[in-house]
């Protein structure tokens, strides 16, 4: 059901077309700056961020493409570079929209820590570009920089907690804006 993604060279210009090495360096530099702004890596040593930039994969998806498919193996996290995504879950034969994602959002972070199947899907609303970090790359970085392991794991968990708060708020807003919200008992 997932559609094929297309890798592209987003920063290719007439000056870099003649020198692909220069284009690769430019992409790494842009990825480095993007990663330095993320909650996960803000304030972390440059050597660690450089390694993340080197091990990450930049990928483009078209509007309508699935980036994550519910019930498939989870083994990577994503940073949305540009475009818009929707997070949804298939439940009782219905697709339920959980949350929109926007530029600079980091998602799928739990896949960096554990093996499981995705419990949600993510679909491109517009054409998008993402930076992908695979679990094995994340684990290699933790092995290389063990003094940062606890802090990086804590930041991944905090990213998930923050998104859960946003998702809950989004769902409650949808629930409360319905014409006649159903009565719910939490007891």
Within a domain: 187: no
Within a domain: 4: no
CATH number at residue 136: 2.60.120.10
pTM: 0.75
3-class DSSP state of 23? helix
Higher pLDDT, 41 or 126: 126
Within a domain: 75: yes
Residue 17 pLDDT > 90, yes or no? no
d(CA 8, CA 31): 14
Residue 156 pLDDT > 80, yes or no? yes
Phi, psi angle pair for 108, to nearest 5°:
80, 15
DSSP 6: B
Instruction: Quick: pLDDT tens for 86-97.
Output: 999 999 999 988
Residue 179 pLDDT > 80, yes or no? no
What is the crossing angle of helices 135-144 and 46-55, to 10°?
150
Within a domain: 177: no
Structural domains of the chain, count: 1
| Encoded tokens for 143 | 């092995």
Within a domain: 66: yes
Q: In this structure, are residues 105 and 170 in contact, taking their beta carbons and an 8 Å threshold? A: no
Higher pLDDT, 144 or 14: 144
Within a domain: 182: no
- Mean of pLDDT over the chain: 83
Within a domain: 19: yes
Instruction: Quick: pLDDT tens for 80-119.
Output: 999 999 999 999 999 988 889 999 898 999 999 999 999 9
Residue 7 pLDDT > 80, yes or no? no
Residue 1 pLDDT > 90, yes or no? no
Instruction: Quick: pLDDT tens for 158-174.
Output: 888 888 888 788 878 87
Within a domain: 115: yes
What is the structure's pLDDT at 178?
74
Residue 25 pLDDT > 50, yes or no? yes
- The separation between CA 21 and the C-alpha centre of its own chain, rounded to angstroms, equals 27
For 158, the domain range is 14-172
| Encoded tokens for 75 | 């083994």
Higher pLDDT, 15 or 78: 78
Higher pLDDT, 105 or 12: 105
Torsion angle in degrees (nearest 10) through CA of 129, 134, 135, 140: -130
């Amino acid at each position: 059901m997932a559609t094929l993604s297309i890798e592209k060279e987003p920063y290719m210009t007439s000056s870099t077309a003649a020198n692909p090495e220069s284009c690769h360096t430019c992409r790494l530099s842009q990825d480095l700056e993007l990663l330095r702004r993320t909650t996960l890596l803000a304030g972390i040593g440059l050597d660690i961020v450089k390694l993340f930039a080197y091990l990450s994969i930049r990928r483009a998806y078209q509007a309508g493409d699935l980036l994550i498919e519910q019930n498939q193996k989870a083994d990577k996290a994503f940073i949305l570079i540009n475009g818009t995504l929707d997070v949804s879950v298939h439940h009782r034969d219905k697709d339920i929209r959980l949350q929109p994602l926007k530029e600079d959002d980091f998602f799928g972070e739990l896949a960096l820590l554990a093996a499981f199947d995705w419990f949600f899907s993510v679909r491109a609303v517009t054409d998008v570009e993402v930076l992908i970090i695979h679990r094995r790359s994340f684990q290699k970085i933790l092995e290389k920089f063990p003094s940062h392991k606890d802090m990086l794991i804590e930041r991944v968990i905090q990213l998930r907690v923050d998104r859960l708060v946003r998702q809950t708020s989004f769902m409650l807003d949808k629930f409360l804006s319905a014409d006649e919200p159903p009565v719910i008992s939490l007891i």
